[in-house]
């Protein structure tokens, strides 16, 4: 049994019970096309014991009235009770909604996907890209694992064919173009220390977290400050610096 | 007349299978069962307290099975997340398919929950889910008389076939007959059908399913043994 005090005393002396340094990710594995028969894009990400799958589906829909020439993305996270005894059956709760919205912003605001290129007929038909994310095992840091699975699934997504305005799902066409490869990295603050990729046990000790989405040109495209505790200017500077470094590391895994 | 199967299989030939237990660390038991392109994952949690209390059984634990297709797993459009009438019924028949082999009398008033997620589908999903669920319960160490093996038989173009894929199931005259059996006794624990069949065809389909379930049973047992051998090492 790993106690709360033990975890904190370790972290205070810059150690962790699994032997990692505070700013180390666990082993990360990315696998593509894990559900390729019907999903236009799919990926599985494992970070240590955490495992997440994501799949992409294209549909033809109607544009929003204020953006008649733009398609869009829909990000959905299902914290299925398969993945943890702490998840319950039912519509997405606030945790699932937060993860989905943070991922949505990271992708949407990066301009990685040119929404205008998803227009089929102005004012009438656009492509809707659904990104559905399912944790298979929650071993901590679902935020980063889910984001990586989502961007990996998008990276290998291919448009289905369009025949007389109807989708022919049996025929795949060109790859979805990503103009940038935005990466989200979450830096956690536990008892005045900054920590990357907490396990499920460590996650319970978090005072604050900062998720930053960063493009390869160094521009930031989304931020989420989470957790109960506040962060100071110094915290923010340090956490941001760490996020930049770690985002680079994560991006190299996607190539 | 259906002379040659779309994917080139013999009429009584199953698609290639893969099975593995222990795929979800958080669960007390878990399994993956793949047949062709259909991939089912199952994880077991419990025994734990059953709410609301009036559902509690004072003489035994309660088995609850939840079937779900991931939103991107179906052919055609995205499957809307959340329970549907179809998924709830499949959960129900999955429970009934497994209950005859499972003994939860040691755990009165509790629930044992099995969550089944389909990662990819190419027909035969409820049967794959039942195969995975029974393996996951065995992996969890619950008292069981046997595993449950399941496969769909049916009629395509008037021919009796085993383990229909989506393309076959989508044929206009196709009849789908999912069947689960207790391999050691040959007893049937799931039997459904939709479509027009004669009494003789139905009998033939059931006997074919029974025969093929024994092949599935071997794959299930091997996966459980592999896990056990690994742990001894």
Counting beta carbons within 10 angstroms of the beta carbon of residue B128, is it exposed (0 to 12), middle (13 to 18) or buried (19 or more)?
buried
A–B CB contacts, 8 A cutoff, strictly below: 95
Contact B26 A138 (CB under 8 A): yes
User: Closest residue of B to A153, CA-based?
Assistant: B72
For residue A82, list chain B residues with Cβ-Cβ distance below 8 A. 24, 27, 41-43, 115-117
Question: Hey, what are A249's tokens?
Answer: 């590391």
Note whether ipTM > 0.90 here: yes
List A residues 100-159 in contact with B (Cβ-Cβ < 8 A): 130, 132, 134, 136-139
The pLDDT, as a whole number, for residue B35 is 98
Choose the closest CB to B68 out of A42, A80, A85: A80
Any B CB within 8 A of A163 CB: no
- Closest-CA distance, A85 to chain B, in angstroms, reads 7
Number of domains present in the structure of chain A? 1
Whether A166 and chain B come into contact, CB under 8 Å, resolves to no
Confirm if A235 and A208 have CB atoms less than 8 A apart.
Answer: yes
Contacts with B, A 223-252, CB within 8 Å: none
Please tell me the number of Cα atoms within 13 Å of A235 on its side-chain side. 18
Residues of B in contact with A39 (CB under 8 A): 72-73, 120
- A48 to chain B, minimum CA–CA distance in Å? 11
Tokens 């497994």 -> residue: B98
Low pLDDT (below 50) residues in chain A: none
Query: Is there a contact between B78 and A81 if contact means CB atoms under 8 Å apart?
Result: no
* CB < 8 Å to A132, chain B: 70-72, 78, 81
Q: Are B115 and B45 in contact (CB under 8 A)?
A: yes
> Looking at residue B196, what is its pLDDT?
95
CB of A36 within 8 Å of a chain B CB? The answer is: yes
Contacts of residue B74 in chain A, CB cutoff 8 Å? Answer: 38
Chain B CB contacts of A78 under 8 Å are: 70-71, 81
Report whether A61 contacts A125 (CB < 8 A).
Answer: yes
Flag if A35 and B75 touch (Cβ within 8 Å): no
Q: Find chain B residues with C-beta within 8 A of A142's C-beta.
A: none
- Which of A33, A37, A45 to probe the B interface (max B CBs under 10 A)? A37
Q: What is the dihedral of CA B84, B87, B90, B96, to 10 degrees?
A: -80
Whole-number Å distance between alpha carbons of B121 and A10: 45
For A7-106, strand residue ranges (E) read 28-32, 41-47, 50-61, 72-77
Residue range of the domain that includes A209: 4-253
Closest alpha carbon to A134 in A78, A200, A56, A55 = A78
Q: Which residues contact A161 (CB under 8 A, 6 or more apart)?
A: A167, A168, A170, A171, A172, A173
Q: What distance in Å separates the CA atoms of residue A55 and residue A37, rounded to the nearest whole number?
A: 11
Task: For the domain made up of B17-232, give the CATH fold.
Answer: Ribosomal Protein S5; domain 2 (3.30.230)
Given CB atoms, is A91 within the 8 Å cutoff of chain B? yes
Q: Which residues of chain B have pLDDT under 70?
A: 231-233
**Helix or strand or coil: residue A55?**
strand
CB contact under 8 A, A78 and B71: yes
Tokens of A228: 């109960």
Is there a contact between B26 and A85 if contact means CB atoms under 8 Å apart?
yes
Confidence at residue A2, expressed as pLDDT on a 0 to 100 scale:
67
Number of C-beta neighbours around residue B225 at 10 A: 11
A78 touches chain B (CB under 8 A): yes
CATH assignment at residue A33? 3.30.230.70
Cβ contact B73–A55 (<8 Å):
yes
Task: Verify whether the Cβ–Cβ distance B81 to A132 is below 8 Å.
Answer: yes
Looking at residue A115, what is its pLDDT? 98
Q: Is A83 in contact with B43 (Cβ distance < 8 A)?
A: yes
Chain A residue whose CA is closest to B71? A132
Chain B residue closest to A59 (CA)? Answer: B77
């Amino acid at each position: 049994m790993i106690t709360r005090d033990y975890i904190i005393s370790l972290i205070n002396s810059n150690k962790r019970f699994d032997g990692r340094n505070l700013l180390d990710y666990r082993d990360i594995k990315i696998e593509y096309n894990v559900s390729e028969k019907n999903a236009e894009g799919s990926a599985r990400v494992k970070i240590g014991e955490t495992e997440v799958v994501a799949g992409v589906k294209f549909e033809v829909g109607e544009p929003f009235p204020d953006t008649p020439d733009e398609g869009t993305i829909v990000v959905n996270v299902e914290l299925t009770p398969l993945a943890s005894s702490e998840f319950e059956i039912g519509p997405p709760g606030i945790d699932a909604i937060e993860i989905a919205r943070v991922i949505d912003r990271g992708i949407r605001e990066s301009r990685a996907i040119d929404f205008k290129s998803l227009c089929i007929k102005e004012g009438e038909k656009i492509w809707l890209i659904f990104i559905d994310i399912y944790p298979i095992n929650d071993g901590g840091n679902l935020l980063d694992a889910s984001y990586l699975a989502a961007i990996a699934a998008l990276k290998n997504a291919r448009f289905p064919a369009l025949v007389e305005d109807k989708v022919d799902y049996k025929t795949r066409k060109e790859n979805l173009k990503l103009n940038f490869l935005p990466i989200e990295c979450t830096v956690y603050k536990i008892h005045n220390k900054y920590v990357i990729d907490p396990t499920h046990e460590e996650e319970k000790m978090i005072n604050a977290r900062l998720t930053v989405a960063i493009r390869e040109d160094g521009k930031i495209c989304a931020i989420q400050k989470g957790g109960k505790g506040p962060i100071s200017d110094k915290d923010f500077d340090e956490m941001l610096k760490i996020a930049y470094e770690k985002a680079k590391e994560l991006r190299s895994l996607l190539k | 007349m259906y002379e040659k199967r779309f994917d080139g299989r013999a009429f009584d030939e199953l698609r290639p299978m893969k099975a593995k237990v222990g795929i979800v660390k958080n669960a007390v038991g878990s399994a993956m069962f793949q047949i062709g392109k259909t991939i089912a994952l199952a994880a077991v949690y419990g025994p734990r307290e059953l709410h609301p209390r009036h559902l509690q059984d004072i003489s035994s634990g309660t088995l609850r099975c939840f079937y779900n297709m991931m939103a991107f797993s179906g052919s055609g459009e995205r499957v809307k997340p959340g329970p549907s009438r179809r998924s709830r019924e499949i959960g129900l028949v999955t429970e009934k398919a497994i209950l005859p082999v499972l003994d939860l009398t040691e755990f009165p008033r509790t629930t044992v929950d099995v969550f089944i997620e389909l990662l990819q589908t190419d027909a035969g999903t409820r049967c794959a889910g039942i195969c995975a669920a029974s393996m996951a319960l065995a992996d969890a160490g619950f008292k069981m008389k046997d595993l449950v093996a399941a496969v769909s038989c049916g009629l395509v173009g008037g021919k009796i076939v085993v383990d229909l894929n989506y393309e076959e199931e989508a044929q206009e005259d196709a009849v789908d007959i999912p069947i689960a059996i207790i391999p050691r006794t040959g007893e049937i624990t799931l039997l459904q059908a939709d479509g027009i069949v004669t009494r003789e065809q139905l009998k033939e389909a059931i006997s074919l399913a029974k025969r093929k379930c024994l092949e599935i049973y071997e794959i299930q047992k091997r996966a459980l043994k592999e896990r056990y051998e690994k742990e001894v090492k």
